[in-house]
Amino acid sequence: MFGGKGGLGKTTFSAATAYYLAKQGKRVLVFSVDPQASLSDIFKKDIFGKGPVEIIPNLYAQEIDADRRVREYQQEIRQKILDMYGMEKIPEEIESYIQAAAAEPAMEESAIFDEVVDIVVKGGYDYYIYDLVPLGHALYYLSMASVYDAWIDKITSLREQMREYDQVAAVMRREKELDEDAILNELLYIKDRINKSSNILTDKKKTAFFFVLTAEEMVIKDTMKAAELFAKFDVPLSGYIINRVLPAELRSQNIPEYLKNRLEMQEHYLKVIDRDFSGQILASVPEMERDVTGLAMIEEMASAMYGNFA
């Protein structure tokens, strides 16, 4: 997983890492849950909402379409109501409720989270490169597993208590009991999926989380705060990558005053990073001469991150 403030290069690093691993013969899926995702732009290929799309041999990319997932939720709810109550048509007042619920902001976030669970639990790849949304939203997604788990635990416990009372009227309420048991089974199914996903995302042997930062004061401060919060969710923090480092040799050249000031500022904050993140900096990646889009520039970025490779 690559995380950090917006606009620092998370998507670029995700694409380059996926490209590098694919070139090593690994089957890789790079995916994004960000509604403003730019994997399509980086790979110069329309992949939004189309499931895993092959970019090169072994490399697949996916951008999640949350709106479509919400529509699928709505249809699933309609079908379950029809099946459970033997209806031919959804009553108008229930349809209005379904439409209103789908408009809630939490519904989109839940849909995205559920899609991530699907991707992680399904399997089929050697590596998954998870291009996280900006920090605040990323923390929300990572916390959802524990929130869902606690909620389902409570509902499941209540349902199991209710079963004791149901036995008193088992004959009279047999059909209803079966319906409620189906609901309980579905809750247990959801709980199992969430636990599997959460276990994978926090497994230090299977998962690595990398923070992306630049040599700027606010970025450094925000990254330090975020690292403390991520630690509370047991995210396996593996290190930091500094992006957009200007080459020091520019100082010896005839460059504009503005650029000299930028280099001085960078030198200062690189020392701050070295002090505050001592021993945790995995790489310093240079500022590229142009935008990282297209396979040629992705390969150049991969070489900058991992060294030249065949």
CATH number at residue 275: 3.40.50.300
pLDDT confidence band for 36 (50 / 70 / 90): low
Q: What is the pLDDT of residue 180?
A: 60
Give this prediction's pTM. Answer: 0.82
Confirm whether 97 is domain-assigned: yes
**In the predicted model, is pLDDT for residue 114 greater than 60?**
yes
Number of H helices, E strands in the chain: 10, 8
The number of distinct structural domains making up the chain is 2
Residues 26 and 99 occupy one common structural domain? no
Residues 28 and 103 occupy one common structural domain? no
Question: What is the SS3 assignment for 253?
Answer: coil
Residues 24 and 134 occupy one common structural domain? yes
Average pLDDT on 196-222 reads 88
Q: Percentage of residues in the chain with pLDDT exceeding 90?
A: 44
46: exposed, middle or buried (Cβ count in 10 Å: 0-12, 13-18, 19+): exposed
Q: What is the pLDDT of residue 294?
A: 96
Confirm whether 186 is domain-assigned: no
**In the predicted model, is pLDDT for residue 37 greater than 80?**
no
Instruction: Give the domain extent around 60.
Output: 2-67+110-140+209-306
- 308 versus 297: the higher-pLDDT residue is 297
Smallest CA-to-CA distance from 244 within 221, 269, 222 is with 269
Residues 244 and 98 occupy one common structural domain? no
- 280 versus 72: the higher-pLDDT residue is 280
For residues 191 and 156, the answer to whether their CB atoms sit within 8 Å is: yes
Residues 219 and 123 occupy one common structural domain? yes
Residues 218-237: pLDDT tens digits?
A: 999 999 998 888 888 777 88
Q: What integer best gives the mean pLDDT of the chain? A: 84
Confirm whether 163 is domain-assigned: no
Q: What is the pLDDT of residue 279?
A: 92
**In the predicted model, is pLDDT for residue 33 greater than 80?**
no
**Token code pair at residue 235:** 């995210």
Residues 266 and 122 occupy one common structural domain? yes
Residues 62 and 78 occupy one common structural domain? no
Residues 28 and 97 occupy one common structural domain? no
Confirm whether 247 is domain-assigned: yes
pLDDT confidence band for 104 (50 / 70 / 90): confident
Find where tokens 């240079």 sit. 286
Residues 283 and 302 occupy one common structural domain? yes
pLDDT confidence band for 81 (50 / 70 / 90): confident
Residues 135 and 213 occupy one common structural domain? yes
- 161 versus 42: the higher-pLDDT residue is 42
Q: Concatenated DSSP letters for 149-208?
A: HHHHHHHHHHHHHHHHHHGGGTTTTHHHHHHHHHHHHHHHHHHHHHHHHHHHHT-TTT--
pLDDT confidence band for 142 (50 / 70 / 90): low
Residues 117 and 254 occupy one common structural domain? yes
Average pLDDT on 82-110 reads 82
